[in-house]
Amino acid sequence: MKVSKRVLEMEESVTLAAGARAKQLKAEGRDILSLTLGEPDFTTPENIQEAAIAAIRDGRASFYTVTSGLPELKTAISGYFEKFYGYSVAPNQVTVATGAKFSLYTFFMSVINPLDEVIIPTPYWVSYADQIKMAEGVPVFVQAREANDFKVTVAQLEAARTAKTKVLVLNSPSNPTGMIYSREELLAIGNWAVEHDILILADDIYGRLVYNGNTFTPISSLSEAIRKQTVVINGVSKTYAMTGWRIGYAVGEPEIIAAMTKVAGQTTSNPTAVAQYGAIEALIGEQDTVEQMRQAFEERLNTIYPLLAEVPGFEVVKPQGAFYLFPNVKKAMDMKGFTDVTAFTTAILEEVGVALVTGAGFGAPENVRLSYATDLDTLKEAVKRLKTFMEG
Ligand code: PMP
Ligand code: GLU
C-alpha cells in the first residue's frame, strides 16, 4: 500500500463529496437539484471583482506577499473587528490564510500535541474531527440535545473535561444546525474555559448571516480574559460570496498566531495575492450587497422551512443563522424502511434527484442537511420532490 495510514484513516469531506457527486450527475444529463454545498449562489459583488482586477492590471498581485497577509488587509481586518466585535487587533494578532478551512488546520497543527483532547459539540461541521486527527489530537464529541436547540451546556462540557482537554471548538451560528448561542450561554462557556485554561476556537464564519431578529455575539467580545483564551476564525467566503477566492483569517494572541503563520510558511506560503486585494475591498468597501444577500437567505429560510416541516417524517427545528436546515429524519427512515441515513440520502438522490448531505459526517446519524443557499424555485421544487419521495 502506497498511501499513508494517516490518509487511509481520514474521512473524505462529505460536503465536498456530495457536492461533487451532484455536479457529476448533472454533467451526465441527470435532472438533479443540489442542496449540498454551503456556498452562496451569488457571484462576488462587483466592487470586489474590480478591486482584484485593478491589482492584477497594475502589477500588485504579481508577487508573494508576507506569509501572514498584506499589511493593508490586516488593517482592514482590524477595522472590521472594531465595527463588529468592538475591539481592534494589532498586526501580530492576525494571520490570513488560504480559506478559513486552512486557518483551522494551521490552528490545530499549532496547538495540539499528540493525544491532546479537543471538545467538539455535536452535530459539528465535518472537517474539525479529521483536522484534529491529522494533528494527532483526539476529538471528544459532546452531544448537543435537539431539545436544547442543538447547543451544549457547561455541565456537559465539564463532564467531558479531562486533564488532557486543550481546546473547545465553538461554531455559532452553527454549520449544520444554524443555531446561535446566546450571550449568557457564551459567557458561561467562556468563563468555564478561562477557569480551566482551555483554548476556545471560535469559528465565527456565519456571524453576519443571521435572520429574523436573531443576533450573533462573538464570544471573544465578552471579556478580556475570554478574548485572550480565544482564537477567532473568520473569512470572506460566506458573507461576501467569495468561496472560490479562498481567503480566511485567524485573530488571537501573538504566540499562537505566529505559530500558525509558521505552519503556513512551510505549506502554502502566503494566500493568493489577488484574492487578498479582493478581500480588502470586501471588508472596507460598501456593505449593501451583504445585506441584500442576507435578506435573500432570510426569505428563502422563511419560505422553505414551513414547507419542509410538512414533509412526512421530517422533523425540523427552525434555524437562526447560517444557510442550512438540519431535519431529523428518523421517522422518515422508519416509514421507508431505512436504518442508515447515508443510504436514505442516496435513495433520495437516485429516485427523485435531490442531492442532500448525509448527517453521518456531522456526527448526526438521524439527520440530513439541506443548504438553502440556492434560488427559491429550486428549493420549492426540491421540497416537493422530497414529499413525493416520502409519499411514494
Ligand atoms: N467553518 C465552517 C463552519 C464552514 O462551514 C466552512 C465552510 N467551508 C468553513 C469553516 C471554511 O470556509 P472557507 O474555507 O471557505 O473560508
Ligand atoms: N463549508 C461548506 C459546507 O459545509 C463548504 C464545503 C466545505 O468546505 O466543507 O458545505
* Domain harbouring 39, CATH code: 3.90.1150.10
Whether residue 326 is found in the same domain as residue 258: no
**Is residue 193 exposed (0-12), middle (13-18) or buried (19+ Cβ within 10 Å)?**
buried
Q: Are 268 and 361 part of one and the same domain?
A: no
CATH number of the CATH domain containing 178: 3.40.640.10
- Which run of H or E residues covers position 331? helix 330-336
Q: What is the pLDDT of residue 392?
A: 83
Same domain for 346 and 198, yes or no, is no
Q: In this structure, are 147 and 267 located in the same domain?
A: yes
Could you tell me if the CB of 37 is within 6 A of ligand 2?
A: yes
- Whether 216 is in a domain gets the answer yes
Which of residues 284, 313, 342 is at a domain's end? 284
- If you measure from the C-alpha of residue 268 to the centroid of ligand 1, how many angstroms do you get, rounded to a whole number? 18
Q: DSSP string spanning 84-139?
A: HTS----GGGEEEESSHHHHHHHHHHHHPPTT-EEEEEES--THHHHHHHHTT-EE
E strand or H helix at 343? helix 341-352
Is the model's pTM score more than 0.85? yes
| Ligand 2 binding pocket includes 38 (Cβ within 6 Å) | yes
pLDDT of residue 376: 97
Residue 175 Cα to ligand 1 middle (Å): 9
Which DSSP category does 187 fall into?
H
Do 114 and 262 lie in one domain? The reply is yes
Atom of ligand 2 nearest to the CA of 243: 5
User: Quick one: which of 301, 305, 303 has its CA closest to 293?
Assistant: 301
Residues 213 and 349 reside in one and the same domain:
no
Q: Does residue 56 lie within any of the structural domains?
A: no
For residues 228 and 310, membership in a common domain is answered with: no
Q: Which of 228, 254, 284 is the last residue in one of the domains?
A: 284
Evaluate whether residue 95 is within a structural domain: yes
- Locate the ligand 2 atom nearest the alpha carbon of residue 36 and give its number: 10
Tens place of pLDDT per residue across the chain (392 aa): 899 999 999 999 999 999 999 999 999 999 999 999 999 999 999 999 999 999 999 999 999 999 999 999 999 999 999 999 999 999 999 999 999 999 999 999 999 999 999 999 999 999 999 999 999 999 999 999 999 999 999 999 999 999 999 999 999 999 999 999 999 999 999 999 999 999 999 999 999 999 999 999 999 999 999 999 999 999 999 999 999 999 999 999 999 999 999 999 999 999 999 999 999 999 999 999 999 999 999 999 999 999 999 999 999 999 999 999 999 999 999 999 999 999 999 999 999 999 999 999 999 999 999 999 999 999 999 999 999 999 98
Q: Is residue 48 part of a domain?
A: no
In a domain, 53, yes or no: no
Choosing from 227, 257, 284, the residue where a domain stops is 284
314 and 386 Cβ atoms separated by less than 8 Å: yes
Per the structure block, which three cell numbers stand in for 241?
Answer: 460570496
pLDDT at 143: 97
Residues 73 and 110 in one domain: yes
Q: Which ligand is nearest to the CA of 206?
A: 1
Domain membership of residue 325 (yes or no) is: yes
Residue in the block written with cell 420532490: 385
Which atom of ligand 1 sits closest to the CA of residue 102?
Answer: 14
**Is-cis flag, bond preceding 40, omega within 30?**
no
Q: Would you say the CB of residue 15 lies under 6 angstroms from ligand 2?
A: yes
| 369 CA to centre of ligand 1 in angstroms | 15
What letters, b where the CB count within 10 A reaches 16 and e where it falls short, cover 320-358?
bbbbbbbbbbbebbeebebeebbebbbebbeebbbbbbb
User: Which atom, in ligand 1's list, is nearest to the CA of 322?
Assistant: 5
- Determine, yes or no, domain membership for 51: no
Report which bound ligand comes closest to the CA of 233: 1
How many C-beta neighbours within 10 Å does residue 274 have?
A: 17
Yes or no: say if 18 and 357 are a contact pair by the CB < 8 Å rule. yes
Confirm whether 385 is domain-assigned: yes
| Separation between Cα atoms, residue 321 and residue 129, nearest integer Å | 22
**361 and 386 in a common domain:** yes
Q: Are residues 142 and 168 in the same domain?
A: yes
In this structure, are 67 and 96 located in the same domain?
yes
Q: Pick the ligand that lies closest to the CA of residue 128.
A: 1
Residues 139 and 93 grouped into a single domain: yes
Query: Domains in the chain: how many in total?
Result: 2
Residue 319's domain spans which residues?
A: 5-43+288-391
Q: Does any ligand 1 atom lie closer than 6 A to the CB of residue 367?
A: no
Interaxial angle between packed helices 71-84 and 273-284, expressed in degrees from 0 to 180 and rounded to the nearest 10: 30
